Amino acid sequence: MTEEASGATGAARAYGLTAGVLTGALAAAGLLTYGFFALASHSLDTDEYGLVVVLWSVVFVVVSVLFRPVEQLLSRTIAERDAHGQPIAQAVRIAGLIQLGLAAVFVVAAFAFRGPIQDDLLEGQEFLFYVLVGAVTAFAAEFFARGFLAGSRRFGLFSVLLLLDGCGRLGFALAVAVGIAHGVDAVALGVVAGPTLSLAVVPLAVRARHRHPPEAASPAPGQPGPRADLPEFTLAHGGGFAAAVLVVTLSEQIFLNGGPLFARAEEGAAAAGFIFNTLMVARAPVVLFQAVAASLLPHLTRLRSTGGETNEEAFRLSVRLTITVIAALAAVAVVVVVAVGPELMQLLFGDKFTYDRLGLALVAAAMGFYLSAATLNQAALAQGQARRAAACWGACAVGFIAWNLTDAFDVFRRVEVGYLGAAVVLCLLLYVVYRRPRPLAEDSLEPGSARELEARLAAADEAG
């Protein structure tokens, strides 16, 4: 084996180990969050549980819009500068100022609109309003830490951060479940405690970086060495790809967290809790799929970048096999929920709600199309078509919102049918993008690049 081949093999093994650790942590964090809601649903009455669901949904929509772009750009810039042996202090400082500024804007806006938020959205619960503000600001710090850790390739600490977040949240729901604490306020504290506890890894990350500063990557034979003229870090630098990632992430939040907000607006907090539980039929497989998603993108990127008929066929085979497994999973899920779905839901979330077999079947079928669309999205990113993929996500998210503003069916059936319809259309649109690639140079992903790292983390981040 040549020296180059040996080095490539070692790099591939190291990359595979990293992907395994990260995806395992993402899956575990998602399951911890799932456990948080299962315990909360058993411990609280329907209105109280609905308030926790509304609180969670609002927090995650807000933090996805405000803080993900800076996280992604920071991770890319640090990785790029480390690879070329350049200092990161300016990037960290500017990103910190931007993130702090966004958090401050949110706090000011939240207090300016405190009346509608507290009275109309949170049923007049003052304590939940402060939890909302505290959770969003805590997530601002956590997302900044995630960008720093990802860019620095401290994936062990990144995994610890995710697990601390999930455990901190679950602990409060568990305390209420066993009788140590009581009421909706105690459970809601978990929403802010998770991201706050996760920040315990920050001193460890800073200390590790000072003790073991990264070295510039050694160039391959015939390739240029480290650069000393890297562009200055700004939001505009690489903003096109970050904007595409933001559209996809926001659309995901609309599909998975928009339903409870629509139900809350029309029927009240208890309705939000009911539809949130129904959507868990889709959310749980989505969480587990992140372990596949985080490793699928780099695999497809390498096949696409290497070229050749063999790798092209392997690329398409990987996509087909993944979708085939998803279709089988969805078929089994539909059969199970039709047979015993209502009984299983009451076992998991308590008997406070009566679940509809048809509604559960619609969501289970939508899950299959949604995960197939997520697979095709990974293929589109690997083909260098982030913007076209983002346009598909954005259009379907707008259609989902418009459908839920109509008077068709009741609010629950509208969310269920809308989720299935949006997932089907999204899957078809992304299939067209995948089959007819027209890549843009600025969207392209190079194997092992900071841009690939950013896309992989963005694809896996829905585990939260």
Q: Within 13 Å and on the Cβ side, how many CA atoms surround 297?
A: 30
- H or E element in which residue 20 lies: helix 3-43
Do 74 and 234 touch, CB atoms closer than 8 A? no
Looking at this protein, which amino acid is placed at residue 232? E
Q: The tokens of 270 are what? A: 């208890």
Please state the pTM of the whole predicted model. Answer: 0.73
Looking at this protein, which amino acid is placed at residue 79? A
CA dist 235 and 389 (Å) reads 21
Do 385 and 439 touch, CB atoms closer than 8 A? yes
pLDDT tens over the chain, length 464 residues: 454 444 444 444 544 555 566 667 777 777 888 889 889 988 888 888 889 988 998 998 888 888 877 777 777 677 767 666 777 777 788 888 888 998 999 999 999 999 999 988 888 899 999 999 999 999 999 988 888 887 777 778 888 888 899 899 999 999 999 988 888 999 999 999 999 999 998 888 777 666 655 554 444 444 444 444 555 555 555 556 667 777 887 888 888 888 888 988 888 888 888 888 888 888 777 766 765 665 676 667 667 766 667 778 888 888 888 899 889 989 999 999 999 989 988 888 888 888 889 999 999 999 999 999 988 988 887 787 888 999 999 999 999 999 999 988 889 999 999 999 999 999 999 999 998 887 665 565 555 555 555 555 555 554 44
Do 147 and 167 touch, CB atoms closer than 8 A? no
